[in-house]
Structure 1
């Protein structure tokens, strides 16, 4: 029996499924996985530079830390604002907010989406904590510090959890603004504001290096991208149409569901 033709057919069939728009599960999964991997590459490179104590990076971190510290010492009101912000949008409050949204989703009938929210927040938090222990980077040691924090420095937990929570909440609520350009802009602006200012507050208070914060942002984006790809797998496997997450969220049907409807 000639098995060569069958083998070629199977190989061609696999590739054709990857490119077939009518049966594009493989293509969507490949693109989503590649996107998550590409986001993770900058974090891996940054982590290697931190572990290797790359001099240009250390000098850049030190110069930025000195500039922010000098400004903080001369502007106590700035320190007060950054202190309030870093507590209000710290990991604890953001996790509570995400948990509240997960409960709301579950009661609305979107149990799988609620699980995605919880899994994303937990996976990102655990990964960040593990990487802190593995890298073991010390926090900035400044003269006359305006704030103090315990634990290791890389990646920044505040920056990581801000990126996780902002990304998750953005992708959950985008369906409600899918027909409103202004609404989408507001949601994106709010997500970016929380993510960026929370990270900057850690640098402003002198408790993190800039590379710690950038690492937290990138890792958070990578985790959200990876779990979003996994959620897209479920959607495709259950026969639901593909979504445009950056425009209409990970589950566009959410805006059409009624709270008293059946669970997803």
Structure 2
């Protein structure tokens, strides 16, 4: 008699769900701890916030040209820019038929925007004040909207590019995204419009949104995100390949008609690579 293992195996979708659920839960716990320390005025955190921002403010006041460059970078990577990029991506995905993936991108944008203001109004933390400020910003401080929006946008865009590029492209995308998120967060502290803990809170809030929205979509539309990612890969890769190889093609012989191209077996399949 053979004994069979009755315990179900963990599928890739289950691992995907667990990873994003863990991301959302861990970020939520860390955010709650950080917010509690801010609200209670924990002295080590207060001293760290004040020490960092005072030192950076003195440098910013003494170097106006550098400060103007940082201000331009911060404005360029602001919340409007990041949400516009995600809005354009969501519209493109919707038009090519990747409706669930497009809805996921739109949900990340809208939940991020709404969650940012809900948290800001809930805590109502004041921004840093200086007698000679180098920049101005309105509204409550915690969490940083720039930090939160840039983290969500960069993570989503890297996720969309992931199946379309190779190893080198993925390394480049992740490096660019990480530097962008870090740079935008640092610029808000350098300009004196956010405490360092506001920026950290923005990154943690972004992790909460990214994880929770993904889990919700996976539970309501099982497997649809993976199918749409493969559809994007199938629809996009042939076009990219045609653009890359077209200059290297030899001139067509005009003596006779060119042979018909071989049919693509994936073209008749609604899900492209899902065969």
Q: Structure 1 231/251 Cα, relative in aligned 2: closer, same or farther at 3 Å?
A: farther
Aligned-residue offset at 1:230:
3.0
Structure 2 residue 203 is matched with structure 1 residue 211: no
Structure 2, unaligned runs of 5 or more: 1-5, 240-266
User: Partners of 2:164 and 2:12 in 1: how far apart?
Assistant: 26
1:173 aligned to which of 161, 170, 180: 161
Residues 207 and 27 (structure 1), Cα distance of their counterparts in 2 relative to 1, 3 Å cut: closer
For 1:253 and 1:233, the matched residues in 2 are separated by: 20
| Distance change in 2, residues 1:24/1:203 (3 Å) | closer
**Aligned match of 2:71:** 83
Corresponding residue pairs, total: 238
Kindly tell me: are residues 256 and 40 of structure 1, through their superposed partners in 2, closer, same or farther at Cα, counting changes over 3 Å? same
Q: Is the 8 A contact 1:109 1:263 kept in 2?
A: no
Distance 2:223 2:72 in 1: 44
**1:7-156 residue pairs with structure 2 within 5 A?**
16-17=7-8, 20-21=9-10, 28-156=16-144
Separation of aligned partners in 2, 1:94 and 1:134: 24
In proportion to residue count, which structure has more helix? Answer: 1
Q: Does 1:221 align with 2:199?
A: no
Aligned to 2:232: 254
Where structure 1 has 5 or more consecutive residues not aligned to the other structure, the ranges are 1-12, 242-249
1:102 to 1:237, Cα distance in 2 relative to 1, 3 A: closer
Q: Please say if residues 87 and 109 of structure 2, whose CA atoms lie closer than 8 Å, have aligned partners that are also in contact.
A: no
Aligned-residue offset at 1:193: 1.6
Structure ID, larger Rg = 2
CA distance, structure 2, for counterparts of residue 240 and residue 84 of structure 1: 37
CA offsets, 1:154-194, max 9 Å, x none? Answer: 000111111111111111111111xx211001110111122
Distance 1:193 1:110, change over 3 A: same
Check whether the contact 1:167–1:221 (CA below 8 A) recurs between aligned residues.
Answer: no
CA drift at 1:78 = 1.5
C-alpha displacement of 1:133: 0.7
Structure 1 length as normaliser, TM-score? 0.81
Q: Distance in 2 between matches of 1:262 and 1:103?
A: 20
Once the two structures are TM-superposed, the CA of residue 49 in structure 1 deviates from its matched residue by: 0.8
Would you say the 8 A contact 1:105–1:111 is kept in 2? yes
Contact 1:109 1:262 in 2 (8 A): no
